[in-house]
Structure 1
Amino acid sequence: MAAPRPPPARLSGVMVPAPIQDLEALRALTALFKEQRNRNLDTIGVAVDLILLFRELRVEQESLLTAFRCGLQFLGNIASRNEDSQSVVWVHAFPELFLSCLNHPDKKIVAYSSMILFTSLNSERMKELEENLNIAIDVVEAHQRQPESEWPFLIITDHFLKSPELVKAMYAKMSNQERVTLLDLMIAKIVGDEPLTKDDIPVFLSHAELIASTFVNQCKIVLKLTSEQHADDEEALATIRLLDVLCEMTANTDLLSYLQVFPGLLERVIDLLRLIHVAGNDTANIFSTSGCVKAEGDVSNVAEGFKSHLIRLIGNLCYKNKENQDKVNELDGIPLILDSCSIDDSNPFLTQWVVYAIRNLTEDNSQNQDLIAKMEQQGLADASLLKKMGLEVEKRGDRLILKSTSGTPPL
């Protein structure tokens, strides 16, 4: 049986740990627990208590920081690929250890505590996180501070994004900067090298409901960005990122059909496109099409391509969907989209997205084809613009036909 540890020394009324004589011994112990046969000793609780003591003292001496790190590595090794050890670590470590370590200024301590959390989490313990949202939000903040660290990233993409309930609860409580970080990781998951699995789809349908409903309810807040006084409004910037997520979600066929019928989404996107189009033409602001107005800081980066993405989303929502094609026509959206097609440094690939949207709006839809043909005849649609789209208007008897210039059959 190991000899008992000496009690902590007391200095000027402040508790300090006794000097660590041999950090190599702690490192050796950490290495031993990589082997399964060494993981059943009753040391997890003691290790957690020491780690919490280190955090409470907030010491910065290198030797104590090293011991702090080694203690976390020890817990990570003992929990790795061993469910029994994970359960014991969770009982002793949750929630205090994670609340103490995930926001620590030392990068290694954040990384090691993230590793323990990633290793220990399962579907049952995810429910406990819903009651301790600060831990989940601390993970997002850790990813903000250390985007190069794999553990916070994996916790969010492999655990958090599999729980719609947790994501919804987190989103309601997070700051707008944290929301942007979470939405960025949602995009990364959707467009990653590995496509969403069959098990992922029901979860992301729930995420789609959260994203779409939030966008419908607050999308007009982006108009704040037209004012210099609100040029860095974080809520508006978070709303712009919602649009980016919707674009990627509607590029997934499994999510598209749900969003195509989402109440109010298409109408709100057309309405917002009209509002920023008018605002950009009226005064010089971040949505102006001249390309000469650039906001400082991160605003221009976040708002860049906003009009393009609105048109892209309209095109996606109308893909092989006659009801939405007709709805855009009813809302006078087709002239608006055509009028939006101009050279704009702030909206790269704008023309390409207009072409894409118009083709989706006119595919197997004679009413929309006739509308564009009449617009060209009346001078309301630029013939050269239609030519760029690979379209031209041909008169056949008393009827105007919109057809492809590539020789393919009419749209």
Structure 2
Amino acid sequence: MEPKLSGGGVPEEVLQSLLIASDSSSYSLEDCLKFLLESSKTDSGRSDLASKSILPYILRLLPSRHYLNLSLKVLRNLCAGEVSNQISFVEHGGSAILSDLLAEKTKTTEEDLETVRLGLQVLANVVLFGQEKRQRDVWFRFFPERFFSIAKIRRLETCDPLCMILYACFDGCSDLASQLCRISVGLTIVAETIRTSSSVGSVDDNYWLKLLVSRICVEDHCFLQLFSKLYKVVDTVLGHRDETFTSEQVFLLRMVSDIANERIGKVSIPKDTACSILGLFKQSLDVFDFASSSERSELPTGSTIVDVMGYSLVIIRDACAGGSLEELNKENKDSVDTVELLLSSGLIHLLLDLLRKLDPPTTIKRAQHQSPSSSSSSSLNPCPYRGFRRDIVSVIGNCAYRRKEVQDEIRERDGLFLMLQQCVTDDDNPFLREWGLWCVRNLLEGNLENQQVVAELEIQGSADVPKLRQIGLRVEIDPKTSRPKLVNDT
């Protein structure tokens, strides 16, 4: 007599097919699934099970809820890199089955959350590096309602595979990317994943969210729309929002800052995004009370205003990094580059004004016989965070690189001596001296007027000769004019 697998409520055809596929003499459905789970962990095992067409029977097992999570693990493994199983999943309505299944599992119990996690892993294996047809099948079954409800689950275990699915579909289909970015509910889903990751994880915890944010904010033009989704709504009826910055917005800025820094030279921050971030920087300056600033910690400081200020400034620094205007214009002579656009918004004037309002660096304070912790004037302000002065100087230095209009503007605004004062060490600004020297080098390179001004300051004793020598310059008296000039120190 042929052995029969016990499993009340499960179709007999399904039970017997699982028994045959597992080559098992066991009469337990659980044992059979465990055998299939082990077999599906290898490429050869998945290929063998694909030849036996086992996946449709696992799908038919899901609605019965018999060993649901164990069945999902088998299904997840079967779809991991095995194209024939992925195709079979779509052809046999796997997306619809999982959509109905997960709709019931976004509640509270740990078992339900595990089911959601496993279900998402199945879908991720189906769409990742898959054909457009499979990506569309999953997308149209889950967007937007299912994705939105899952995004609101505050668990990294569900957030990571959800972001993997969103990114794979976004990356593979241009019209799906448009739905995610251009339709309000699409960015709302992404905003919810950011809320989840910021509340239960860190910037580095969700690799796929970082890829998604990179595409949306750094390579596309949806930063401001996504940032706006993260304001706190204070009137759910009318949709009014509190314009105070939120921790989720800080999280997004920090992630964009990391992406921009890691990919300097590979991607350029869109011009509208850079201008939006400059606007956030100005907004944070408007609401921040410098006089009350006493704590000088590294970013993130825990103050949303200070963190928005700091990460915005760092993003602007990296957006301004790279080649000269002339080099950039070789690629597109009719294009206004990002730095030009920021400069037209008064960036240099703003930064020089900020530098003048800050306490001098601790090295200068000591030279003036002041306590490093005291202010030289009641009108001067401490740095709002550790590294603020350095970041300002780094932005100016990047903007001045082979841009004569920036070099001239700083001279015309009497900023050369101010920038020379940044070539010192400062307790609150690590690497200030290095950035200061880089900035002065860029201000003097190819600009005779600036070199003349600095040479005269040198003769007057206002500038320090050794610091100039560190950037390859020295002062000489021109025998024809009897005026000081800077020359290359060879």
In structure 1, runs of 5+ residues without a counterpart are 5-16, 294-299
Counterpart in the other structure of 1:156: 213
Cα offset, 1:31, TM superposition: 3.6
Q: Do the aligned partners of 2:280 and 2:308 also contact (CA within 8 Å) in 1? A: no
Correspondent of 2:70 among 21, 24, 28: 24
Residue 193 of structure 2 corresponds to residue 139 of structure 1: yes
Q: Do the aligned partners of 1:219 and 1:272 also contact (CA within 8 Å) in 2? A: no
Cα offset, 1:90, TM superposition: 1.7
Q: 1:235 to 1:329 in 2, by over 3 A?
A: same
Residue 386 of structure 2 corresponds to residue 304 of structure 1: yes
Per-residue CA distance 1:126-168 (angstroms, 9 max, x = gap)? 333341232111232344315333222222224553320x212
Counterpart in the other structure of 2:452: 370
Cα offset, 1:388, TM superposition: 4.6
Q: 1:204 to 1:349 in 2, by over 3 A?
A: same
**Ranges of 4+ aligned residues in structure 1 off by more than 6 Å:** 278-283
Q: Do the aligned partners of 2:270 and 2:338 also contact (CA within 8 Å) in 1? A: no
Cα offset, 1:233, TM superposition: 3.5
Q: 1:382 to 1:220 in 2, by over 3 A?
A: farther
Per-residue CA distance 1:59-86 (angstroms, 9 max, x = gap)? 224xx44333322223223334132232
Q: Distance in 2 between matches of 1:214 and 1:221?
A: 11
Correspondent of 2:372 among 281, 290, 299: 290
Q: Distance in 2 between matches of 1:313 and 1:207?
A: 17
Residue 272 of structure 2 corresponds to residue 212 of structure 1: no
Cα offset, 1:369, TM superposition: 1.7
Q: 1:252 to 1:182 in 2, by over 3 A?
A: farther
* Corresponding residue pairs, total: 376
TM-score (norm 2): 0.67
Residue 123 of structure 2 corresponds to residue 70 of structure 1: no
Counterpart in the other structure of 1:399: 482
Q: Distance in 1 between matches of 2:387 and 2:290?
A: 17
Give the letter for the 1:149 counterpart. Answer: N
Q: Do the aligned partners of 2:424 and 2:436 also contact (CA within 8 Å) in 1? A: no
Moved more, 215-224 or 391-400: 215-224
Cα offset, 1:229, TM superposition: 9.3
- 1:8-407 alignment to 2 at 5 Å? 20-21=66-67, 23-33=69-79, 34=82, 35-38=85-88, 39-56=90-107, 58-61=108-111, 64-80=112-128, 81-121=130-170, 122-129=173-180, 130-132=183-185, 133-144=187-198, 145-146=201-202, 147-164=204-221, 166-174=222-230, 175-192=245-262, 195-196=265-266, 200-201=267-268, 204-216=270-282, 218-219=284-285, 221=287, 224=290, 226-228=292-294, 233-253=303-323, 254=328, 257-259=339-341, 261-277=343-359, 290=372, 303-397=385-479, 398-404=481-487, 406-407=489-490
Cα offset, 1:261, TM superposition: 4.0
TM-score (norm 1): 0.78
Q: Distance in 1 between matches of 2:417 and 2:68?
A: 76
Q: Do the aligned partners of 1:142 and 1:152 also contact (CA within 8 Å) in 2? A: no
Q: Do the aligned partners of 2:96 and 2:141 also contact (CA within 8 Å) in 1? A: yes
What CA RMSD, in Å, does the superposition of the two structures yield over aligned residues? 3.6
In structure 2, runs of 5+ residues without a counterpart are 1-9, 13-62, 231-244, 329-336, 376-381
DSSP 3-state at the match of 1:394: strand
Q: Do the aligned partners of 1:250 and 1:317 also contact (CA within 8 Å) in 2? A: yes
Give the letter for the 2:315 counterpart. Answer: V
Give the letter for the 2:227 counterpart. Answer: Y
Q: Distance in 2 between matches of 1:91 and 1:99?
A: 13
Give the letter for the 1:169 counterpart. Answer: Q
Q: Distance in 1 between matches of 2:374 and 2:359?
A: 16
Larger radius of gyration: 2
Q: Distance in 2 between matches of 1:330 and 1:103?
A: 53
DSSP 3-state at the match of 1:399: coil
Q: Distance in 1 between matches of 2:313 and 2:393?
A: 11
Identity percentage of aligned residues = 24
